[in-house]
Structure 1
Amino acid sequence: MSDESDREPAENISGGSAGGGTPAEFDPATADTRAEAVIDRLGELYWQKTYGGQDAFECLVRTILSQNTSDKASQPAHDNLMARYGGDGPAAGADGDLVAALAEADREELAETISSAGLYNRKSEVMIAAAEEIRTDFGSEEGFDEFVREGEPETVRDRLLEIDGVGPKTADCVLLFSGGRGGVFPVDTHVHRIFRRLGIAPADADHEEVRAVVEREVPAEKCGFGHTATIQFGREYCTARKPACLDDPEACPMADLCAQVGVYPDTEEVVDPAEAPESDA
């Protein structure tokens, strides 16, 4: 298990009920599917949050910064970016419009500002291009925010995916954390690994196939919590190389719900579920 300092704070930092989210009840005994039972078990283990309310473009920027890096690295980059380009920062846009600020940003200066996040040259290019595109199509940060919150979810998702550098996970995070859309379960590397290891999604499923399974089998109001809690579970228990069950079968709170696809406690071998013998899945 990870250090206690790695856990997410108990305080809801993702918008809360005031931001359009809704609370969910967690009772594994009443779950209709094994996937829902997993999420309910996580509800007993972790915080119970609601989602929605983040500014859409800031959420997009934050998620781009988090790509291929840790929260520990991306958070300072986000803070530095907002201090310079947001609000009353020295490079802020008119009326504090972050879209305008990044559309007009000097790329090298932006890259230096977000350097702690890694891949900063590419990420600065992506953010500037996205800001220019969003300003052209939606006029401002406010216009983009309205589109994300009020547009049809599939229409919003499809439009987000048209932006260079925005993949399915980034688009889904914007829908979830900004739009507060129920039934959205973003799939990152932790979610992709864990639901295949559990045997809930096919062992060879890609990210989109895992998303389809969990969004079908987990109630809409539990998907947002399920996404963040599964990530934390992956950090603390079901890690890629050394899941907790290798040391002690009872150390994992999902022991009775998990098929351990690709995990072999007897030999301490761990492989990607897609590489596990077909009989395991």
Structure 2
Amino acid sequence: MTEEPHTNISGGQSDGDRSPAFESDAPTTPAAAVVDRLGELYWQKTYGGQDAFECLIRTILSQNTSDAASQPAHDALVDQYGDSGLATALANADRSKLAETISSAGLQNQKSNTIIRIATRVCEEYGDAAAFDSFVQDGAYDDVRDALLDMKGVGPKTADCVLLFASGHDGVFPVDTHVHRVYRRLGIAPPNSDHDAVRAVLEETVPAAKCGFGHTASIQFGREYCTARKPACLDDPEACPLGDVCDRVGVDPDTGEVVDPADASIDME
């Protein structure tokens, strides 16, 4: 069994927080079967316990970029502003200096504005990062998610990552670009589904305790096998560990053509 690489996967901690023994009951849905199959490839674990404010900032830095680019930006931010009193420090940060600090993550002007605005709001509404963390950890799921989504610059994926990695909520399956592509290509979600529609399908059909692991494992699978331009099945259908359960929507091994599943569905109409 291949261990998950010692890198942050969409905000996950390098070593994870807990290594559970997931139930081995026979899967009852195609999505559950896929997550179980991924469990044979990657380290199964659950999440939770991260500082909520830092998790939020880390996830904002990761938007529209890779871990390789966002991790140095996060490290530079912590070095510059400290990890104690971070919300206050960022609320009072000079925008141009912050943008320079996080430049490796890309979109630094937009992200620095978002970070300062959110840090200011956290300080004004909760008092400090510790109080915000308590709200995220102890608040009702719907209340926390609504509060996060009410922050300008925080979308569903960012909110769900905070709920997963900070709160450890079961049943949360954040959908990034890899998850969005993989489950439409597999045929589990309709090909024209947006990110929220894919999330709804997965959270309804994957056991709640496995959603967090399913998220990180699906990202890794999308990076290693089911890439956007050259999925493993193009060279050899048997090279993909999910080849026997995949509809290959938008992928034609005979011609080598790869299109977004939504575009494939248009062609079939």
TM-score, with structure 2 as normaliser: 0.93
| Corresponding pairs, count | 264
Residue of structure 2 aligned with 1:35, choices 31, 37, 47: 31
Q: Match of 1:59?
A: 55
Contact 2:191 2:265 in 1 (8 A): no
Unaligned 5+ runs, structure 2: none
Using the aligned pairs only, state the percent identity: 64
Q: In the aligned structure 2, how far is the partner of 1:83 from the partner of 1:163?
A: 25
SS in 2 for 1:45: coil
Q: Find 2:66's aligned residue among 66, 70, 77.
A: 70
**2: CA distance between counterparts of 1:10 and 1:66?**
13
One-letter amino acid of the counterpart of residue 25, structure 1: F
CA contact (8 A) 1:10 1:47 kept: no
Give the corresponding residue for 2:206: 218
In 2, the alpha carbon distance for the partners of 1:280 and 1:266 equals: 17
Q: Indicate conservation of the 8 Å contact 1:15/1:177, yes or no.
A: no
Pairs within 5 Å for 1:1-150: 8-9=5-6, 13=14, 15-17=16-18, 23-25=20-22, 27=24, 30-87=26-83, 96-150=84-138
Residues 1:194 and 2:182 are matched in the alignment:
yes
Q: Within 5 Å, give how 1:196-275 maps onto structure 2.
A: 196-275=184-263
Aligned partner letter, 2:255: T
Rounded to whole Å, the distance in 2 between the matches of 1:264 and 1:26 is: 36
Q: 1:233-276: per-residue Cα shift (whole Å, max 9, x none)?
A: 00000001110000001000001111111111111111111111
| Maintained 8 Å contact 2:16/2:45 | no
Letter in 1 for 2:14: I
Secondary structure, counterpart of 2:143 in structure 1: helix
C-alpha contact 2:171 2:212 (8 A) present in aligned 1: yes
Give, in angstroms, the shift of residue 279 of structure 1.
9.0
Alignment RMSD, CA only?
A: 2.1
After TM superposition, the score normalised by the length of structure 1 is: 0.89
Measure how far apart 1:8 and its partner are: 2.3
Q: Distance in 2 between matches of 1:225 and 1:277?
A: 29
**SS in structure 1 of the partner of residue 239 of structure 2:** coil
**Could you tell me how far apart the structure 1 residues matched to 2:248 and 2:128 are?**
48
Deviation at 1:34, TM superposition (A): 0.8
Deviation of 1:15 after TM superposition, in Å, equals 4.8
Q: Please list the CA deviations of residues 33-67 of structure 1 after superposition, one character each: whole Å capped at 9, or x if unmatched.
A: 11011001111101112200110000000000000
**C-alpha contact 1:14 1:52 (8 A) present in aligned 2:** no
**For 1:117 and 1:254, how far apart are their aligned partners in 2?**
32
Deviations 1:102-129 (A, max 9, x none): 0011111111111111001110000000
Cα shift at 1:13: 2.6
Q: Give the match for residue 93 of structure 1.
A: none
Contact 2:57 2:115 in 1 (8 A): yes
Q: Take 1:67 and 1:237, find their aligned partners in 2: how far apart are those partners?
A: 22
Equivalents in 2 of 1:141, 1:147: separation in Å? 10
- After superposition, the Cα gap between the structure-2 partners of 1:182 and 1:280, relative to the gap in structure 1 and judged at 3 Å, is farther
